[in-house]
Structure 1
């Protein structure tokens, strides 16, 4: 991997992580179409640490309150009745499905599930799910329940497949259970933190072991730079998306996913792009 390629993929990660369009799919597609090779699941997982650090900084006060409330609740019955204590547990519980499935299917995630035919089809199929959720959502509640948490947790786990989109899956589930867009988006951001940091830290040894030795392997230094770039771009996108969802639907992202998936199918069908 060249330095320019690392920079481009860092920008792509930062631009797409929080939008319901699947950042992992975009890393996979851009690296294949533009550079002729797959950047790999480990590189993708590590540079996502940059965008999640942006979330941590942006929501630092909220996260601090949740952590403090969770620790107080371990020793105080009164603290266990606070919304912050429940939300802290909701983030923990919602993170379980993707953590378990990520470990169980790590080999498939790094190989078979990165087939571009799967990515293209999943982009379009889950665009339809998001469209249905966005058009039929009651948007009646700001407060989460345990059922909401479990539903959104399993939806997040589907993002192990490039093309589903972590934010798209959780936002779809949140809208379907009756949450408002803003509430779904906020919880989606918080829910992603444990999963992304876990996957990123788990993948660091792969990057260190390869250290640019393969034909399209990123070096440790290139991965660090791509991660920093994804952080800078991602921080700007967090603020923008929260303002956007307050007044707009997700249909622009639905159509974008459908068009991207259809174009990718055309390129694969004509042999312009290899699926693996």
Structure 2
């Protein structure tokens, strides 16, 4: 890959990993419009590492607090708010993890088409709008139960379908459960940590098995740019979410889905 391709794909990954707008829809457009070849497994690992470092860096205090409480309270067989939230993140990760193990090959073979991505980009965009309009938006993170976590985790499993958007579907589920926008987004970001870690680990194992030469230049730039764009994305998204709401992302998804249909027609 040349530097321009590295920059575009790394920034796309960093931004779309956490915005509710579908990373797969954005990654299909450059190849369709510009004729770019697949970026390769090593680059996928690099941009996932960058995104993971960004979310860990931004939520480092939350991660440390919940992790410390989980270890302490598990040993003592007690439950506090922080350890309960840690259990909620763990429970919310399980459905997507299991679905990935069972259905990954089917999704890769049968659902990774431009038409599927266009349909899900539009369909789940409308669902995001409905959840924002219908949800009470009164509950805080401290009220999240294990049942809530399981329901959001089941919704997260739908993100295996290309075009769904992992952050979009988890925010949608959390809003339907009555969480405030910022709290829904924050819990969605927390859920991304174990999932990105697992996905990156699996891709790393695949990369080791494949062997071959590695383009360290592309990996270094991909990791750095993905980290910067993801960190900036998380900060700005949370800062302006309550002010602008989710309608701009809904409109964007509808426009993107329409553009995909035009490109594929």
Q: TM-score, normalized by length of structure 2?
A: 0.91
Structure 1 unaligned blocks of 5 or more: 270-276
Q: Partners of 1:221 and 1:207 in 2: how far apart?
A: 17
> 1:45-69: CA deviations, max 9, x gaps?
6522211211101110110011100
Structure 1 residue 232 displacement after superposition: 1.0
Secondary structure of 1:81's counterpart equals coil
User: Match for residue 90 of structure 1?
Assistant: 88
Secondary structure of 1:70's counterpart equals helix
User: Match for residue 253 of structure 1?
Assistant: 249
Structure 1 residue 181 displacement after superposition: 0.6
Structure 1 residue 210 displacement after superposition: 5.2
Match of 1:108 among 100, 106, 109: 106
Q: Partners of 1:184 and 1:130 in 2: how far apart?
A: 12
Q: Partners of 2:49 and 2:158 in 1: how far apart?
A: 19
Structure 1 residue 170 displacement after superposition: 0.4
**Matched ranges for 1:161-176 at <5 A:** 161-176=161-176
**Matched ranges for 1:140-179 at <5 A:** 140-142=138-140, 143-179=143-179
Alpha carbons 1:9, 1:31 under 8 Å: kept: no
1:233 aligns with 2:229: yes
1:9 aligns with 2:9: yes
> 1:154-187: CA deviations, max 9, x gaps?
1111112221111100000000011111111110
> 1:126-168: CA deviations, max 9, x gaps?
0110010011110121021122101111111111222111110
Structure with the higher fraction of residues in helix conformation: 2
Alpha carbons 1:28, 1:38 under 8 Å: kept: no
Residue correspondences, number: 263
Structure 1 residue 71 displacement after superposition: 0.5
1:26 aligns with 2:22: no
Q: Partners of 1:223 and 1:232 in 2: how far apart?
A: 14
Alpha carbons 2:129, 2:247 under 8 Å: kept: yes
User: Match for residue 274 of structure 1?
Assistant: none
Structure 1 residue 44 displacement after superposition: 3.9
Match of 2:240 among 232, 241, 244: 244
Higher mean alpha-carbon deviation, 28-37 vs 164-173, is at 28-37
Secondary structure of 1:18's counterpart equals coil
For the aligned residues, what is the CA RMSD?
A: 2.1
User: Match for residue 60 of structure 2?
Assistant: 60
Alpha carbons 2:43, 2:218 under 8 Å: kept: no
Q: Partners of 1:149 and 1:176 in 2: how far apart?
A: 13
1:99 aligns with 2:85: no
Q: TM-score, normalized by length of structure 1?
A: 0.88
Alpha carbons 2:96, 2:156 under 8 Å: kept: yes
Structure 1 residue 104 displacement after superposition: 1.3
Structure 2 unaligned blocks of 5 or more: none
- Stretches of 4+ moved more than 6 A in 1? none
Q: Partners of 1:212 and 1:257 in 2: how far apart?
A: 38
User: Match for residue 268 of structure 1?
Assistant: 264
Structure 1 residue 209 displacement after superposition: 5.2
